[in-house]
Structure 1
């Protein structure tokens, strides 16, 4: 038994698949808690830092899942999740009956409910477990986890999620409920990012130093992440580092708009944000922090372009 984040943990067996910036930070927290950890990643070299910390490294997703009570996946999108779940060497082939897969990726609620059905058919259990926070927060075990899905599996996932989270919230409803909540919260953040960028651009165009606006933002925004984005957009420092990439953000905003359409809700600001993300990606900024979408406002002003309609393609904007 070890202590981590103020809690005591027994040696639960955990597998972790997907060691990007966020995944690697989360996996390290799980390992430091004293739980037995096996890792797998499509690029094997990303497993080595965790091997040095004491993790086992599997050759396939199936091998990683074979002895795990809980399998965590932190991947990019629907297809990457299916790629590690299905097939002879997939997680479903290795995960024992009644053991759990918890998906940390931001995915659509519809896809999450489909994963729950897939696991039920295979005799395993599924819990959606998306997280709120950036990789630097993950490294400090300061994420917020949202959980929904199989109620009988929830206790095991709460125990594991507590190793990398400052708070774990169970969202009532089917597996997709946590993903719906995550999309709502991320939508709030990305729309605020766009609003900050527009305000700075208007200040610049009016001859006002945007630092003045930022000073007010730093007083208004209590959450460190909002202060961070205010400063990043002001300094135009969009190096991704431990942040969230624009290409990842494009995927999330697309999910938000899809969910809104399925539920008969109009997210008009989200349509504008999506177009600006596409403009920035067209300019080669896809690997930058997602707050770089605010550069599209300057691009449009510099090139004397109108804001594209919601259904305008990136290629049309760039012509």
Structure 2
């Protein structure tokens, strides 16, 4: 295959993953991009975006980042270098200096507070009305909050909002989505899904997606626990999952449960899972769409962990949401966080 043919194939593959035509020249590469929120997900997304731009868009300004805990910003700058990461002193600096602002924050209250800071900073800055800005909200929030954020941002001249909580599922202004799509694909995500102009659709889709992940974790927890009680053991069930249902989330969370790897600083924290589950249940109730209670085992795991912390017996400062298996284990009379105490194995005959 000729070099020209390879290039055309690459373009066709890229287009099949992105429903938008490319932005007009000079395009996205000259934009000053800001990022607020460097938690478990935000850190990885910001890092991938900064690395990709540094490699594929030489001369692009460094990604301007802010995080409530400054050490996370400093860690990212140390990892990638000052040519790729610049640290902002406040959300106000991000709003005033950037053409595109991404946010990935812990919960609805924090998201609204940061966007109010953005809006207040731009309203008192005379120069802000002459600059186009796109705000991209990537946190997991309740859908109605998107409308509140839109009210804040739409009152600022030349500013638009895009919701993109599941990489890369987007809702909002069409031209803004086009710009963002080519920033994120393939730097952060593989494919764009466009859900139209209603900003609430993308957060709704994210909750539906998270319900699938949570449901699969719950299923693994119950099946692993049953296997332990039956004297078969969770490792054999994990092998079955790998052979028959090798979805990345199933396999990865199965491994965490199997090895009691419940460190939430290296995954998705349990409290974040409880927040998402609360949103899912609220949405299901409002839409009269019955859904099983998703967070009973998470609450049990958190209660056990809290008691261990008070006694100074905890193994992890923060729990990963895969630790919900502790709820299923304790309900079955097993140790919640230490599977080595389970007497479960298949005895093979000679």
- More displaced 10-residue stretch of structure 1: 39-48 or 233-242: 233-242
Question: 1:98, CA displacement in angstroms?
Answer: 4.0
Q: Which runs of 5+ in 2 are unaligned?
A: 1-9, 15-26, 55-59, 307-316, 335-350
Q: Which runs of 5+ in 1 are unaligned?
A: 132-143, 304-319
**Equivalent in the alignment of 2:5:** none
SS at match of 2:330: helix
Question: What does residue range 248-259 of structure 1 map to in structure 2 within 5 Å?
Answer: 248-259=272-283
Deviations 1:235-290 (A, max 9, x none): 2222224311111000011111111111111112xx1x312111111112782110
- Residues 70 and 156, structure 1, Cα contact 8 Å, conserved in 2: no
Question: What does residue range 167-246 of structure 1 map to in structure 2 within 5 Å?
Answer: 167-246=191-270
Root-mean-square deviation (CA, aligned residues, Å) is 2.5
SS at match of 1:72: strand
Distance 2:259 2:68 in 1: 35
- Residues 103 and 128, structure 1, Cα contact 8 Å, conserved in 2: yes
- More displaced 10-residue stretch of structure 1: 109-118 or 69-78: 109-118
SS at match of 1:282: helix
Q: Does 1:41 align with 2:41?
A: no
- Residues 115 and 149, structure 2, Cα contact 8 Å, conserved in 1: no
SS at match of 1:66: helix
- More displaced 10-residue stretch of structure 1: 88-97 or 258-267: 88-97
**Equivalent in the alignment of 1:86:** 116
SS at match of 2:332: helix
Question: What does residue range 28-67 of structure 1 map to in structure 2 within 5 Å?
Answer: 28-32=47-51, 33-34=53-54, 35-36=60-61, 37-52=63-78, 53=81, 54=83, 55-67=85-97
**Equivalent in the alignment of 1:115:** 149
Question: 1:195, CA displacement in angstroms?
Answer: 0.8
Distance 1:185 1:89 in 2: 30
Distance 2:333 2:122 in 1: 52
**Equivalent in the alignment of 2:299:** 278
Cα 1:211/1:98, change in 2 over 3 Å:
same
Q: Does 1:20 align with 2:20?
A: no
TM-score, scaled relative to structure 1: 0.81
**Equivalent in the alignment of 1:100:** 134
- More displaced 10-residue stretch of structure 1: 283-292 or 14-23: 283-292
Distance 1:89 1:169 in 2: 28
Distance 1:249 1:91 in 2: 32
Cα 1:210/1:48, change in 2 over 3 Å:
closer
SS at match of 2:266: coil
Cα 1:260/1:58, change in 2 over 3 Å:
same
Q: How many residues align?
A: 285
- Residues 264 and 319, structure 2, Cα contact 8 Å, conserved in 1: yes
Distance 2:121 2:110 in 1: 12
- More displaced 10-residue stretch of structure 1: 163-172 or 192-201: 163-172
Distance 2:247 2:121 in 1: 37
Question: 1:173, CA displacement in angstroms?
Answer: 4.4
**Equivalent in the alignment of 2:333:** 302
Q: Does 1:127 align with 2:157?
A: no
Question: 1:164, CA displacement in angstroms?
Answer: 1.2
